């Protein structure tokens, strides 16, 4: 019989995908586990019982939480941060783990959000600047939610845009009669129409009138509403709108005073070339010139901004050498759809995608977050770019990182910027980085090293990161060893480490079974250590308010579903837990028919079953109690496979004969279903005090049973502390029997 000793010094590879069962050759196998349930991997390599879930609030039935919930963090200041929980048409506000009530003095515990329907909850996006949160969805006019002067003062309203970008959904061109005259070559240009109809030389003029040629119409009001343009002579280059005309005297009254009064040398033309609907349409000229009309002055005068300079100024562009390009309309509307994603980046608000333009990104004017209408192409003007690739790229999220990053169903993109060089209309273009595609509805999130996202099919977690060696962005799959933990993901959030005893913690809620895939991330050490959180119910939402991890959990008590807002609490050992001080019983509990763990003054008492909302403790707590749903802890090593010189023993029977567990502040532990004693009777008052925490090595001998895997399983059946730093185990191998 061959014997050997194995020592698992850490669990920094986390729970390993069963598909890697044969990969005993990789280092991750030696540092991984077959099961890590309801534990967290620590930066130092050990595993620790996960925090319990403290009960905060049960969402009422009329909030229809069964139709969806969404958790959105909101940080107002260093001292004030919130977790906002959205349900159909409602927003609940939590501050410091307490529901904010009587919102705006209304008597309601929520803010009504008009138009927010159940089918929007899983896919809406948001971004925040100072006191304002912006919500967007392609079927929902963007809303701004503003935190007012106090915690319970919140307002929500649809955004009124100062300028909306235009797009020709149905493009058409026409060739109006007459010629046009630009007063400048480029920039802001005024265009005058010399239509050729109703022209002549004036007989006289005054401050607000002009007497037309004797051949003008003799009918009163014949020219009302038309434009008059003085194309030569006194007052040359002026245009006005005729508001009244007297046929007998030929006197036309204009809407505003002339800058220079016309006289009998003023040659004029009257026409109706332009209309107010021409604003945001284009004029194209030959041999060159393209102008977007930004202002309608009167029927013969418009102003606009050139995209291509005109060939000459102050000279007519004859009929047939220019055209009116029309069909442009608001890109966003109730009929065309609204923006799908948003972020703030370097002084602009950016929107990504809409129902009718799913692959376009828009940026506002710098400092004017609700004005997206480009005017003069200055550096601070609005910007726009479309992802033109050979694949369909519907934008699902955008985020401000090292650069502006854009995530679509077909790939990952970014807007390249040189250091200290801002985005401008002239350098705003998008570059492809990778072609994985991103899952809609799960917001991408950032850690120190890069941006994390769930791939389109929901079966892989990737990191979008800038490579200094390649001078480009790359996407790395970081869930290759643990994709089995991703089961139809629906939401993702990151809690950043606050001490050296913690790692960044990525939490992914799964729709298939209501579990959470919990990734302990240490980018500097290239450590990705996943585990799985399971509770008596289903996690349906997850969010992080700085350091507080909120969850919405669907739980069933007495055959009735309830949706509970809970928070992970390091001082809590049960789920949906209620805590307090001195008590002998509790009432009004929601856990009807459920069996609860009871902890009083640090001691685990007998379990109690809730009846009519009440339980009675075995004894009265003096200073503290906790009651809540139990959850199981399991740490199971991978099958032991060693090459002992004569070959591997993968198919040989083995037996673990001794286990030495390295523990830290542990109160209860079972190894291979054998209770490891923690209490010691050499200290006075042992039975009158809570179980003391043990730090050191606990050994277990006499373990029976042969198997081909020889695994060690650590479990815990009581709600007490557990931290396992490592396992040394001695294994006997039967010589091929």
Other beta carbons within 10 angstroms of residue 580's beta carbon come to 12
Length of the chain in terms of residues written = 737
Other beta carbons within 10 angstroms of residue 475's beta carbon come to 20
The residues with which 727 forms a beta bridge, in sequence order, are 8, 661
pLDDT value at position 731? 84
**Rounded CA separation 433/475 (Å):** 8
Beta strands 674-675; 179-182: pairing state: unpaired
635 contacts 623 by C-beta, under 8 angstroms: no
**Rounded CA separation 590/629 (Å):** 11
DSSP code, position 572: -
| Tokens 């060696």, located at residue | 469
| Tokens 């390649």, located at residue | 470
Q: Is 305 exposed, middle or buried (0-12, 13-18, 19+ CB in 10 A)?
A: buried
**Which mean pLDDT values do the consecutive 10-residue runs of the chain (737 residues) have?**
76 93 87 96 94 97 95 93 96 96 94 94 94 96 95 95 92 90 93 83 96 94 91 91 95 96 94 89 95 91 91 92 94 96 96 96 95 84 90 94 94 89 90 94 91 94 88 89 95 91 93 96 85 97 96 96 97 97 96 96 94 95 96 94 64 85 95 87 61 91 81 94 93 68
DSSP code, position 381: S
550 contacts 540 by C-beta, under 8 angstroms: no
Name the phi and psi angles at 28, rounded to 5: -60, -30
pTM of structure: 0.88
Which candidate, 488, 497, 501, 499, places its Cα nearest to that of 521? 497
Helix (H) and strand (E) counts for the chain? Answer: 1, 61
**Rounded CA separation 365/397 (Å):** 20
| SS3 of 588-633 | CCCCCCCEEEEEECCEEEEEEECECCEEEEEEEECCCEEEEECCCE
Compute the 3-state secondary structure of the chain and give helix, strand, coil in percent, each to the nearest 5: 5, 50, 45
pLDDT value at position 642? 66
143 contacts 134 by C-beta, under 8 angstroms: yes
């Amino acid at each position: 019989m061959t014997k050997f000793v194995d020592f698992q010094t850490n669990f920094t590879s986390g729970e390993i995908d069963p598909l890697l069962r044969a990969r005993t050759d990789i280092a991750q196998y030696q540092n991984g586990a077959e099961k890590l349930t309801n534990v967290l991997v620590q930066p130092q390599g050990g595993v620790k019982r996960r925090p319990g879930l403290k009960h905060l609030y049960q969402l009422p039935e009329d909030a229809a939480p069964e139709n969806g919930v969404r958790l959105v963090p909101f940080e107002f200041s260093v001292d004030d941060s919130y977790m906002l929980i959205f349900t159909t048409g409602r927003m609940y506000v939590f501050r410091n783990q307490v529901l904010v009530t009587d919102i705006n003095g209304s008597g309601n515990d929520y803010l009504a959000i008009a138009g927010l329907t159940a089918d929007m909850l899983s896919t809406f996006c948001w971004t925040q600047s100072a006191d304002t949160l912006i919500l967007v969805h392609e079927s929902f006019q963007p809303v701004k939610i503003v935190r007012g002067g106090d915690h319970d003062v919140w307002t929500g309203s649809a955004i009124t845009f100062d300028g909306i970008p235009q797009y020709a959904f149905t493009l058409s061109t026409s060739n109006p009669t007459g010629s046009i005259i630009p007063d400048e070559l480029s920039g802001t240009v005024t265009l005058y129409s010399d239509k050729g109809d109703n022209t002549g030389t004036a007989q006289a003029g005054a401050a607000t009138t002009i007497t037309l040629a004797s051949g003008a119409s003799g009918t009163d009001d014949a020219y009302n509403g038309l434009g008059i343009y003085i194309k030569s002579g006194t007052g040359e280059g002026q245009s006005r709108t005729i508001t009244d005309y007297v046929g007998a005297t030929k006197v036309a009254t204009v809407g505003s005073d002339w800058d220079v009064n016309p006289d009998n040398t003023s040659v004029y033309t009257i026409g109706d070339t332009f209309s107010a609907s021409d604003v945001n349409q284009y004029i194209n000229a030959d041999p060159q010139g393209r102008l977007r009309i930004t202002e309608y002055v009167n029927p013969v005068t418009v102003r606009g901004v050139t995209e291509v300079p005109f060939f000459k100024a102050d000279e007519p562009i004859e009929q047939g050498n220019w055209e009116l390009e029309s069909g442009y309309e608001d890109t966003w509307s109730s009929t065309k759809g609204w923006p799908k994603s948003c972020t703030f980046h370097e002084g602009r608000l950016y929107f990504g995608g809409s129902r009718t333009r799913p692959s376009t990104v828009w940026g506002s004017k710098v400092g004017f977050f609700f004005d997206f209408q480009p005017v003069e192409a200055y550096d601070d003007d609005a910007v726009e770019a479309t992802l033109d690739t050979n694949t369909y790229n519907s934008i699902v999220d955008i985020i401000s990182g090292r650069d502006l990053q854009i995530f679509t169903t077909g790939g990952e993109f970014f807007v390249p910027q040189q250091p200290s060089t801002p985005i401008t209309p002239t350098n705003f273009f998008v570059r492809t980085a990778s072609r994985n595609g991103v899952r809609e509805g799960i917001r991408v999130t950032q850690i120190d090293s890069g941006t994390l996202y769930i791939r389109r099919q929901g079966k892989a977690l990737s990191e979008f990161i800038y490579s200094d060696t390649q001078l480009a962005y790359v996407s790395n799959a970081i869930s290759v060893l643990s994709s089995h933990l991703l089961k139809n993901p629906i939401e993702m959030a990151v809690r950043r480490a606050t001490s050296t005893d913690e790692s960044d913690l990525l939490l992914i809620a799964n729709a298939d079974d209501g579990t959470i895939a919990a990734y302990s991330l240490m980018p500097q050490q290239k450590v990705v250590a996943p585990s799985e959180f399971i509770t008596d119910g289903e996690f349906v939402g997850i969010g992080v308010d700085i350091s507080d991890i909120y969850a919405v959990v669907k739980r069933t008590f007495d055959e009735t579903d309830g949706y509970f807002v809970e928070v992970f609490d390091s001082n809590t050992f049960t789920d949906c837990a209620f805590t307090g001080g001195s008590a002998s019983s509790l009432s009004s509990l929601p856990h009807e028919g459920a069996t609860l763990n009871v902890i009083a003054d640090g001691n685990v008492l007998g379990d109690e079953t809730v009846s009519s909302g009440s339980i009675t403790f075995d004894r009265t707590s003096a200073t503290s109690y906790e009651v809540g749903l139990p959850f199981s802890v399991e740490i199971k090593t991978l099958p032991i496979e060693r090459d002992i010189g004569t070959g591997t023993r993968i198919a040989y029977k083995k037996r673990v004969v001794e286990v030495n567990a390295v523990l830290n502040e542990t109160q209860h532990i079972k190894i291979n279903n054998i209770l490891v004693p923690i209490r010691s009777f050499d200290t006075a008052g042992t039975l009158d005090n809570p179980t003391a925490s043990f730090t050191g090595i606990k050994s277990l001998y006499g373990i029976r049973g042969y198997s081909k895997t020889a695994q060690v399983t650590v479990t815990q059946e009581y709600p007490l502390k557990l931290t396992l730093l490592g396992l040394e185990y001695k294994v006997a191998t039967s010589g091929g029997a």
